[in-house]
Structure 1
Amino acid sequence: MKKISDLFSRHSRKRILSQSFFLGALATAGVILNAFSLSLKVDAQTPLPIVNNTEIDSYAQAVLAMEPARQNAFEEIKKLIGNGEIPKIVCNDSNSFNGLPKKAQDIAVNYCTRAQKIVADNGLSFDQFNKITLELQNNNMLKRQVYDSLLRLQQTPESR
């Protein structure tokens, strides 16, 4: 009868040791490659900023300045349409005015003209403003920056 020590002969122990070493090396390589892979994903997912802080502040100022005019235009159009649904009005898409009665179209055009002036007065082109608006739909970091800027701009001077 063989002793247990005989089962783990020198040859057998070498083989187990080399297998353990191989599996350990394989596991270590997997961990390193996984960490490297995650690092690459994080770097690749961090977008370059499309907007700088000055543009964010300009955007927020324009939004704040436009809001009262937008609300007034919306209320006027709502009165004209009554219980009907107000279509989405997009200033750079004249087709979005088509579903409105003539007087409501005039209100929308007047609002859009004022909005373009407000955007320009705040240092942005209308294209830049629209680009930021579109980017806000998918970029939570930019949303947060604009939100923070809006909050800061709405603070009363004595609370700053």
Structure 2
Amino acid sequence: MKKISDLVYQPSRKRILSKSVFFSVIASASVICNAFSWSSKADAQTPPPVNNTEINSYAQAVLAMEPARQNAFEEIKKLISNGEIPKIVCNDSNSINGLPKKAQDIAVEYCTRAQKIVEDNGLSFDQFNKITIELQNNNILKRQVYNTLLRLQKTPEPR
């Protein structure tokens, strides 16, 4: 049975859902960023601005990664039935080695797939990492990526 509040607040829920999708995608991107950061060089220079092509490629890569991430998460969750899934970082062997063997295989497969998705969308690991890091501190870029993600999700895929 539907509540009146469900009918009144439906548009607000839609907005909340789209925002939560955005933030889960950005959180996923942060995990992927860790997967591709092979070194932790400190760079004192201001990174060059991100252009629209890079924003579009980044958003496409993140959206393409999300189903694989969710699938891997669900598979690992089924294997680790006794509690919370530990944080898995692709380039941190300790985070993967702490998993059961079958879960390790799933995590490695996901990391490999995510790496290919980034490349297939025209970004290098460095570009993807820099954008993900920049998103954490740049509200303008965050808004641009958010708007691109929304646009891409609304646009029907070509057949």
TM-score range normalised by the length of the shorter chain: 0.5 to 0.7
**TM-score of the pair, normalised by structure 1:** 0.64
RMSD over aligned Cα atoms? 1.9
Give the C-alpha shift of residue 71 in structure 1: 0.4
Once the 2 structures are TM-superposed, how far is the Cα of residue 134 of structure 1 from its aligned partner? 1.9
| Change beyond 3 A, Cα 1:116–1:151 | same
Q: Which amino acid aligns with 1:87?
A: P
Paired with 2:97 and 2:120, the residues of 1 have a C-alpha distance of 28
Matches within 5 A, 1:1-160: 49-157=48-156
Structure having the larger proportion of residues in helix: 1
Task: Report the secondary structure of 1:78's partner residue.
Answer: helix
- Structure 1: distance between partners of 2:47 and 2:130: 15
Determine the C-alpha separation between the residues in 2 that align with 1:74 and 1:126. Answer: 22
Amino acid at match of 1:107: I
The Cα offsets for residues 62-106 of structure 1, whole Å up to 9 and x where unpaired, read as 011111110000000000011322122222333321321111111
How far apart in 2 are the matches of 1:95 and 1:61?
30
**How many residues get paired?**
112
Task: Give 1 or 2 for the bigger CA radius of gyration.
Answer: 1
What is the rounded CA distance, in whole Å, between the counterparts of 2:145 and 2:82 in structure 1?
Answer: 34
Letter in 2 for 1:124: L
Distance of 2:93 and 2:150 partners within structure 1: 32
Alpha-carbon distance change, 95 to 133 in structure 1, aligned in 2, over 3 angstroms? farther
CA 1:72 to 1:48, structure 2 compared with 1: closer, same or farther past 3 Å?
A: closer
- Quote the Cα distance in structure 2 between the aligned partners of 1:148 and 1:104: 34
* TM-score, scaled relative to structure 2: 0.64
How many angstroms apart in 2 are the aligned matches of 1:80 and 1:55? 37
Superposed displacement of residue 130, structure 1: 1.9
Over 3 Å counting, the alpha-carbon distance change for 1:140 and 1:126 in structure 2 is same
Amino acid at match of 1:104: A
The AA in structure 2 aligned to 1:109 is V
- 2:83 aligned counterpart, secondary structure: coil
Q: Which runs of 5+ in 2 are unaligned?
A: 1-45
Q: Deviations over 1:107-142 (max 9, x none)?
A: 000001000101000000122212211221222111
- Residue identity (%): 88
Give the Cα–Cα distance (whole angstroms) in 1 for the partners of residues 126 and 100 of structure 2: 27
Select the structure with the greater relative contact order (CA < 8 A; seq sep ≥ 6). 2
